[in-house]
Homo-oligomer: A and B are copies of this chain.
Amino acid sequence: MHDRSAAALVIGNEILSGKVVDTNAAFLAQELRALGVTLRRILVIPDEVDVIAEAIRASHPAYDLLFTSGGVGPTHDDVTIAGIARGLGCGVVRHPILEQKIREFSGDKLNEARLKMAEVPEGAELIFAGDLNFPTIQIRNIVILPGIPEIFRAKFHAMKTRFASDPYFMRVIYTRAQESTIAEFLNATLAAFPELQLGSYPKLGDPEYRVRVTLESKNPQYLNRAFEHLLAHLPSDTIVRTE
């Protein structure tokens, strides 16, 4: 099975101080899963060059893909490019193609703040994808995305086919049994199918079911055998439905 791992690095004081609720990480989690990419961690950190650099040093060798969100605008708190460059031990340079695009786009509004958005870590490439006006900056395995959700999503959608890995398959069992009642059956299935990704999610106050059990694998035959194993062991009168 071909599997790709990923990490998300969300950069922004506004999220840590509760002023803005991040939605990019959850979006990324869903999109990467659909692409068969295994998201291994999400880290939210402040707009500080040293903290970003440390996170880059720790994350970029450990995962196949690293997505950053935020900190790429024109103001003082946009320090993602500087943080990534420091983390990789390279300089920050103005990319000539970005500079040209910003000059064209800005007209007589051109200023230093706008030109700051032409800066990239030295050695970065520009990914032109879809019909978007501005390319996405990538250096090594690091894909640098902006924090504004609409643009984050548009850029990701335009590029996503290049990240695709083998897909995950999922089956779901909804049960009205309590989680502590079915724990032994989950354990038995996991003992028989150790590679299975098995999740158990209680829901409070739902009239239909108490626990949603998810079974996942990249191998559909293995998944179906595990599914049948668990279904055969759960008390049948507690099963609400399956998917």
Contact = CB atoms under 8 A, between A and B. Distances in A.
Interface stretch (A24-32, A91-99, A219-227, A232-240): A24-32
A74 B168 CA distance: 26
B111 A197 contact: no
A201 B148 CA distance: 9
Interface in A7-32: 10, 13-22, 25-26, 29-32
Interface in A60-87: 73-77
Interface stretch (A35-43, A119-127, A132-140): A35-43
B113 A180 contact: yes
A111 B184 contact: yes
A190 interface: yes
Interface in A169-193: 178-184, 186-187, 190
A142 interface: no
B16 A39 contact: yes
A144 B19 CA distance: 24
A127 B30 CA distance: 36
Contact of A17 (B29, B75, B111): B29
B22 A75 contact: no
B13 A33 contact: no
Given A113-B180, A113-B184, A186-B75, A44 B17 contact: no
A41 B44 contact: yes
Contact of A19 (B181, B198, B199): B199
B42 A197 contact: no
B16 A76 contact: no
Given A16-B29, A29-B17, A43 B46 contact: no
A71 to B, nearest CB: 11
Contacts of A41: 16, 43-46
Contacts of A200: 73, 75-77
Interface of A: 10, 13-22, 25-26, 29-34, 38-46, 73-77, 106, 109, 111-114, 116-117, 148, 150-151, 168, 178-184, 186-187, 190, 197-202, 204, 214, 216
Q: Which 5 A-B pairs have the closest CB atoms?
A: A113-B183, A18-B30, A18-B29, A42-B44, A74-B180
